[in-house]
A and B are shown apart, each in its own frame.
Chain A
Amino acid sequence: SDKMLSLLDKWVQENNELANNFKVGNNSEQSCSEFHKLLRKIQGIPPDAGHAELELSVVYNASVCFIAQSQIVEAELLLQQATERVLQMTGDDPDTSDPLVLWRTVLKSVRKTAFHHHVLYLLSLQWAIWLTNSYLKTIRDFQEISALLETLSGKVGDDCRNETKAKFPDVPKLITDPRRLVELLQICTIITQGAERLSEGWSSEVLSDLQAASTLPAARALVAYTHLLSGACLAHMNRPQMALQCYKTALETDSHCVCALYQSILIYRQLKNSQAEIQTLRILHSILLLPSSSEPAMAGTHLLSPSLFLRSQSLSSLLSVPSALSVLHSLALKCVLHSRASEGVEHYLDLLAALHSEDQHRIGVHAEVSTLPKLPRLYLEAGAALLMAQRPADCMALCSEVISTTQDLLPQKVVLDESETNAAATEDVKEEGEGGLAMFLWTAAAYLLQGHCFTHMKDWKQAVTHYTRCINLLVKVHYKNKDTDVQQGGDFCILQRLKGLSFAGRGISFTQMDRMKEALRDLQHSLQVLPEGVGAGLWCGEVLWRLSRRCDAAACWEKTWSLPTQPLTETLPVYVQEPQTGPLLDSTELRHRLHELHPV
């Protein structure tokens, strides 16, 4: 027994040395195996209540190391062995394999023993493992955890620390303070649970929990998450302004919490507050460009990183932020759509420059799944923006880039069978999303934009040439299935708009060249394909007027005015929407003419 005592002392000493080194070195992989080795030595002797405290401390240290290494299975195995040995010490029978029942038995049997607290520490690790594995229901069902909370946060913390420091230097040391661990687990559980229940639609129930959690002692990042989740709850409950407040608090708590910024952008979008949205997008983009933003400083001084315990799928979708390039694209598009074309152009040019820059590899690598549109579409959007910003030459350069790239790959014709899966079901689909049709539409749109550019420069002849090229391409697309229901699909819609706009453009150009017959034919074609075309309708009336068919003209105008006004939308590519430039007709003047015609 005397020898035994010294052996125990030696083990305690070894454990404490390892724990001390751990704090200094932080080489946790090696520490893992060292603690595990020590534990195997200790567990070589039969379970005995006399040295339970030492054994359980080493189990705790080894398990913490394993969890920090994400070796969850190993840690769980250690805990299971430890509980079995505890039951052997107390002489109780572990007649179940259900971990919940096992833990209850263990807690009951050690209630009066000296190592009660050490078993509780192990329970906190079990909690950590459940949380890592997202066994939220188990955590909820296991009431003893709340008891654990009370016991540990009340007494142990002070006790333990005083003991270790002052009176007994040979008390086995723990590598991380169990009280801190329990605090961390508590807030992480609330956050994860909140995210899960929020996704299940229990927003109002979760809210109070989250708000309570925001006062818990924890790292700033975690507190920020509680605010963020409260905001998400409020957004679910249709209280966007309060949600915005929460997001703001989250950002104030932790400036790295960019997801709060992104969530507020979503709220602004929902509120259609485009100015605020643009502003927030701009801030988000500049934050994302900062070097440190990609890795939020979450770890802090904790050995066990909170990210270990925040593995819920719904939480990570809430925390995700699109890449800097995607944000930049949204920003540029928003600017263009909300009459800030010149600003939008700058952003588009930044975006294109980033794609071509030396640093391209970094950008390309970091976005796992790109939310950016295809590159040709990006070029065309930028072109449209340039045209809106009165820079037709630049627009034309971008368009010719697209045309030169796609031109020699264009098929002779494309047969579309809409009854098949998708619009891209062409004969030779080279790869997803880059079939012949997409290529056709890009090229046609590039010609259309070039036509607009020439219209803008009042070079009518060239404009006619480019509109004609566009039309010639578009007529090569054939539809097998003319069912109107399915023809509302995206590509078909774009095709129709391209047709309508190119005919309208050519008609207007013909009008300017005083070739009224051709103009009328084209404009009527345009209206046939795209009845809601405002430009085509007005100009068609004008042509009719000039051809002295005044009644027809009046009818045409009246019909056009009765159409609902269509602002630029995000649902369609900006380049297939009504051009903002080109020769305009003054509606008041037209009305005046009508008034003269029918002086009622």
Chain B
Amino acid sequence: MEGRCSVETWAEFGLLGKSGRPKVKRGFGANIFICTGCEEVYVFSANERKLTVVLQLPGPVNDLVESHDKQLLVACRCGVYCVDLQLLLHRAHGSSGDASSIPAELKISSEFVVVDADGVSSLLLVGSVLLTLSQTDTSWLLTLYKSPQQTQPTAYEVLGSFHLPQISPVVHDDTKLKAGRTGRSILLCAHFGNRPPPSSSCDAVDTSYPHFCLKPVLFKLLFGVEAALAKSPVVLCGLPDGRLCFLPLGLPGSRLRVLHSLEQPVVFAGASVVVETDPGHAQCLAVVGEQGRVVLIKADKAGPERRGSLARFTEGCVSGPVECGFVDKNCLYYSTGSDLLTLTLSEESAGREDGERGEEALRSPTSLNVCGVAALTEPTCSAAGDVQLLGLTVGGQLRSIRLPMRRRGEGSPRPPSSQVGRSVRDLLSAIGDVCERASALKTVIKSKNQILKQLNQVVNISFLLTKTEEPFPFEEKPIGCHATASWSRSLQKDTLNLKCVLTNSSPYVLERGWTLSVTVFPLSCSSSTGEGTSSTNFMFPFYNLRPGETLEVSLPAAAAGDTSYPLTVNCSLILSLSGFLGEEEVARLPGWQKSCFSLPLNTLTVDWLHASQVISPTGSQSNKETDTLQAFLSSRQIGCSKGDGASKPERYSASVRVSSELLRETLTLKSFHLDTKGPELASPNICFSLLDWLFFEAHGGVKVGREGNEIDSSGLAIRARAPNGATVKLSAKQINVAEENPGKEEGLVCVEVRIESSSVSAVCGLHHAVLRRIQSLLKKAPEKAASTEKVQRLGLRGALQQAEIQQSRLSEALSVGMSSSQTNRFLLGVYQELRANPLLVI
């Protein structure tokens, strides 16, 4: 490690943009043009070390080139713009003579357009001809324009264009993506012989990069005798698909032809002198690919049997990725983003016949310990022999990189102590740079890993919950809700509280971003009326629900007097992206801030039975007065209508009949774990357990929070208060229905559940609730090959539907407020319908 390079930061431009391409170019005078991949072009004066002009272009900048008459041509997404820089600089100096720190700003509008073409990725000026390289859907297009003579920016005249069909790049995916986005391409121009062609305005523009003079033999070998004879400049273009193509300008009928394919995006191509035999003649053409492939093209003496000379392509590989590169007289500089390296293109590799020497040289790059360089300028050589490079770092800093003097064949002289100190400082700062970058990268990787892990959990959970091929018919989903309904009194108001418990019995953790959403809405309202107001939504965000853990939330389902039962309770899990990734992460994804997705869990139903409070036969009732008042009122109401010959017209009743056999098979065994001892013996048990099951077991995922056994064990009846305040009596008794089915040889024993109340809606609602429960019982019953059973079950479903319709009509009729006579007629109809359905559930 002889001699370190010194790095000096000249200016900062902020982080590099992704849409354009970072570029640093030296212009006339001491101007340096910088594009950071955004819409701006900065003009920096190296002498004054300050920013002089900022050009604001309408799109991301891809390339820029300075013309011989000091105009700046900038290739944008939407065209090529021409700015008279001299005028601009003059103006900048004039206006800000004192306040010299403020750079002049200029917004470049469409009046500066000289070439109206989309997607120009590279520019090149050869004499008065402007070349643009752009990509169309199917081909690369190299277009030639003639620069107008006058200095006013007028549209350039098209001279012609050349197509090269695209090939699908053979490079691997991420680079393909990158190449597709940036469309990185390069254009340069090789001249034959000593000088660039005698053009009217030949000056420094045509002699510095990207223009170079190739050694005549190499020129002829690569581009042909005709191009050499015509002294035609040859345009070289390197494409993202790895091809290096050439086009001799000004030969009749010349075509764009492929010189070599690097099979990876071409990052840089340039010519190097290597040995100074003929001054100004480059002997070696170097091409560098994005993944580190380096090709050196030289003219070589052939063997005795072959022609005099041939072009030798020496391929080698340096460790990539290569961000940018440059050559000077005998060195190739390239940046991998984390380091700047240099390769010596020694004369051994140029002269010798064995190509291994050349490859060997490629294998031993020297590190310069400068990290983060994204763009480089042409190296300049000072009188003392120092080489100065200008680099643009990924952090948007313009840095001057001064390399120590190199002497061939001898080690560098021992530097003075002050210089040693300086180089140690440089080294330390370089280490600091690298360390800082490394730690930043580490945290990014860590958080990315964390997010990936969590995402995996999320994906597993969503898969589990949305799996449709194997639904959970009876057993619950691994993640699900169940609830307990209980009445509570607060602020003088009775409310039906629902305590929802979310159980995670899956092997996955519900981590960040999850919310339990519970929506409560009346079943009758859900479809027909569709009022938004009737549904209530509750959101419970939570964090880290591990396997086996539960989350308990409590919500008011309904107030006292609210009769819109049954209520449907929809439970779902919602994952919001902002909750999952965090606000600032999501802010980087435009359009995703508000996005979330919802996974349905299960649906619970709270019906009349859940909401009915059992009146203990012993306990005194606090609101008996209301009850009696209600009873009085309803009796007054109903009293107006005529009785139907029944003994008590004000009391309404409905009944459900279930076969004892069915009950025994499904219910009894579960409740008592007893052997069946015959229908007679078990009959009071059956009735008792049916009522118990109806009232105290969990139904539809909802359990009722009542304590104690409040069934009148002797009478086999329960008195309860429905949520509308009416008193209801549910009784069960065993009967024989043989006489009603004369076709059967043996009578069927069944249990009749009778619902009696003075309130029609209570009867109706409870009847519905009982039917629903028995329906679920039927589903549980073992399948029997009895057609009558099926018929019955069908009948039950029909009855259930009818009851639901009736109930909704009823509550509608009651709420709308019909005239009393209409209401009465209506109620009577319902009553009769109910009575007309003697149901038997087998």
Residues of A within 8 A of B (CB): 323, 325, 355-356, 358, 360-370, 372, 374-376, 379, 401-402, 405-406, 408-413, 427-428, 430-431, 434, 436, 439, 442
- Contact residues in A for B161 (Cβ distance below 8 Å): 365
- Contact residues in B for A439 (Cβ distance below 8 Å): 225
B281 CB to closest chain A CB (Å) equals: 14
A372 CB to closest chain B CB (Å) equals: 5
Chain B: interface residue total (CB-CB under 8 A): 36
B252 touches A409 (CB 8 A): no
**Supplied contacts A374-B226, A409-B308, A428-B306, 9 more A-B pairs, CB within 8 Å:** A356-B230, A361-B129, A362-B159, A364-B251, A369-B253, A372-B252, A410-B307, A428-B307, A431-B224
A356 touches B231 (CB 8 A): yes
- Contact residues in B for A408 (Cβ distance below 8 Å): 216-217, 220, 308-309
Tell me the bound Cα distance from A402 to B220 in angstroms.
12
Give the 9 A-B residue pairs with the shortest CB-CB distance, closest first: A365-B160, A370-B253, A411-B307, A360-B250, A370-B252, A375-B226, A364-B250, A375-B229, A367-B252
- Contact residues in A for B220 (Cβ distance below 8 Å): 405, 408-409
Q: Which residue in B129, B225, B302, B305 is a CB contact (below 8 Å) of A406?
A: B225
Given contacts A362-B159, A411-B308, A439-B225, whether A325 and B217 have CB atoms under 8 Å apart is: no
Residue among B144, B216, B224 facing the most chain A CB atoms (10 A cut-off): B224
Tell me the bound Cα distance from A442 to B306 in angstroms.
19
- Contact residues in A for B305 (Cβ distance below 8 Å): 412-413
A358 touches B230 (CB 8 A): no
Query: Which residues of chain B (154-196) have a CB below 8 Å from chain A?
Result: 159-161
B1 CB to closest chain A CB (Å) equals: 42
A473 CB to closest chain B CB (Å) equals: 12
- Looking across the interface, which residue of chain A has its beta carbon closest to that of B227? A375
B346 in the interface (beta carbon within 8 A): no
Tell me the bound Cα distance from A175 to B554 in angstroms.
75
A401 touches B144 (CB 8 A): no
B728 in the interface (beta carbon within 8 A): no
B252 touches A355 (CB 8 A): yes
Tell me the bound Cα distance from A409 to B160 in angstroms.
32
- Contact residues in B for A356 (Cβ distance below 8 Å): 230-231
A-contact bits for B213-239, CB 8 A (1 contact / 0 none): 000110011001110111110000000
Tell me the bound Cα distance from A164 to B144 in angstroms.
49
Q: Which residue in A369, A372, A374, A412 is a CB contact (below 8 Å) of B308?
A: A412
Given contacts A356-B230, A408-B217, A411-B307, whether A376 and B225 have CB atoms under 8 Å apart is: yes
Q: Which residue in B200, B229, B253 is a CB contact (below 8 Å) of A372?
A: B253
A-contact bits for B122-133, CB 8 A (1 contact / 0 none): 000001110000
A375 touches B225 (CB 8 A): yes
B598 in the interface (beta carbon within 8 A): no
B304 touches A412 (CB 8 A): yes
Tell me the bound Cα distance from A409 to B217 in angstroms.
7
B310 in the interface (beta carbon within 8 A): yes
A363 touches B253 (CB 8 A): no
Tell me the bound Cα distance from A361 to B217 in angstroms.
24
A401 touches B229 (CB 8 A): yes
Q: Which residue in A323, A363, A442 is a CB contact (below 8 Å) of B250?
A: A363
B365 CB to closest chain A CB (Å) equals: 33
Q: Which residue in A366, A375, A410, A428 is a CB contact (below 8 Å) of B160?
A: A366
- Contact residues in B for A355 (Cβ distance below 8 Å): 230, 250-252
B249 in the interface (beta carbon within 8 A): yes
Tell me the bound Cα distance from A372 to B229 in angstroms.
15
B821 in the interface (beta carbon within 8 A): no
- Contact residues in B for A372 (Cβ distance below 8 Å): 252-253
A267 CB to closest chain B CB (Å) equals: 26
Tell me the bound Cα distance from A402 to B224 in angstroms.
13
- Looking across the interface, which residue of chain B has its beta carbon closest to that of A374? B226
Q: Which residue in A366, A367, A375, A428 is a CB contact (below 8 Å) of B310?
A: A428
Tell me the bound Cα distance from A406 to B228 in angstroms.
9
Interface residue SS majority, chain A: helix
Residue among A365, A428, A431, A434 facing the most chain B CB atoms (10 A cut-off): A365
- Contact residues in A for B231 (Cβ distance below 8 Å): 356
Query: Which residues of chain B (121-147) have a CB below 8 Å from chain A?
Result: 127-129, 144, 146
Tell me the bound Cα distance from A379 to B225 in angstroms.
12
- Contact residues in A for B250 (Cβ distance below 8 Å): 355, 360-361, 363-364
- Contact residues in B for A360 (Cβ distance below 8 Å): 230, 232, 249-250
A-contact bits for B303-317, CB 8 A (1 contact / 0 none): 011111110000000
Residues of B within 8 A of A (CB): 127-129, 144, 146, 159-161, 199-200, 216-217, 220-221, 224-226, 228-232, 249-254, 302, 304-310
Tell me the bound Cα distance from A439 to B305 in angstroms.
17
Tell me the bound Cα distance from A408 to B216 in angstroms.
9
A434 touches B310 (CB 8 A): no
B159 touches A410 (CB 8 A): no
- Looking across the interface, which residue of chain B has its beta carbon closest to that of A402? B229
A409 touches B251 (CB 8 A): no
- Looking across the interface, which residue of chain A has its beta carbon closest to that of B220? A409
Given contacts A361-B249, A411-B307, A412-B308, whether A379 and B229 have CB atoms under 8 Å apart is: yes
Tell me the bound Cα distance from A412 to B307 in angstroms.
5
A368 touches B253 (CB 8 A): yes
Tell me the bound Cα distance from A323 to B253 in angstroms.
11
Tell me the bound Cα distance from A165 to B200 in angstroms.
61
Tell me the bound Cα distance from A376 to B308 in angstroms.
19
Tell me the bound Cα distance from A544 to B503 in angstroms.
124
- Contact residues in A for B129 (Cβ distance below 8 Å): 361
A268 CB to closest chain B CB (Å) equals: 25
Q: Which residue in B216, B254, B310 is a CB contact (below 8 Å) of A364?
A: B254
Tell me the bound Cα distance from A430 to B199 in angstroms.
31
A322 CB to closest chain B CB (Å) equals: 11
- Contact residues in B for A365 (Cβ distance below 8 Å): 144, 159-161
Tell me the bound Cα distance from A364 to B248 in angstroms.
9
- Contact residues in B for A364 (Cβ distance below 8 Å): 160, 249-254
A405 touches B228 (CB 8 A): yes
B225 touches A411 (CB 8 A): no
A427 touches B306 (CB 8 A): yes
Tell me the bound Cα distance from A409 to B249 in angstroms.
22
A325 touches B225 (CB 8 A): no
B307 touches A361 (CB 8 A): no
A-B contacts, 21 of them at CB < 8 A, read A323-B252, A355-B230, A358-B200, A361-B146, A361-B249, A364-B160, A364-B251, A364-B252, A365-B144, A368-B253, A370-B252, A372-B252, A375-B225, A408-B216, A410-B308, A411-B302, A411-B306, A412-B306, A412-B308, A434-B224, A434-B226
- Looking across the interface, which residue of chain A has its beta carbon closest to that of B128? A358
Tell me the bound Cα distance from A360 to B198 in angstroms.
13
A373 CB to closest chain B CB (Å) equals: 10
Given contacts A365-B160, A410-B307, A412-B307, whether A405 and B225 have CB atoms under 8 Å apart is: yes
- Looking across the interface, which residue of chain B has its beta carbon closest to that of A401? B229
- Contact residues in B for A323 (Cβ distance below 8 Å): 252
A409 touches B254 (CB 8 A): no
Residue among B128, B160, B302 facing the most chain A CB atoms (10 A cut-off): B160
- Looking across the interface, which residue of chain A has its beta carbon closest to that of B224? A434
B638 CB to closest chain A CB (Å) equals: 59
- Contact residues in A for B226 (Cβ distance below 8 Å): 374-376, 434
- Contact residues in B for A442 (Cβ distance below 8 Å): 225
Q: Which residue in B224, B252, B302 is a CB contact (below 8 Å) of A325?
A: B252
A367 touches B306 (CB 8 A): no
Residue among B127, B249, B253 facing the most chain A CB atoms (10 A cut-off): B253
- Contact residues in A for B200 (Cβ distance below 8 Å): 358
- Contact residues in B for A430 (Cβ distance below 8 Å): 221, 224
- Looking across the interface, which residue of chain B has its beta carbon closest to that of A439? B225
Tell me the bound Cα distance from A436 to B225 in angstroms.
11
B158 CB to closest chain A CB (Å) equals: 9
Tell me the bound Cα distance from A370 to B248 in angstroms.
14
- Looking across the interface, which residue of chain B has its beta carbon closest to that of A414? B307
- Contact residues in A for B217 (Cβ distance below 8 Å): 408-409
Tell me the bound Cα distance from A411 to B159 in angstroms.
38
Tell me the bound Cα distance from A208 to B19 in angstroms.
65
B171 CB to closest chain A CB (Å) equals: 27
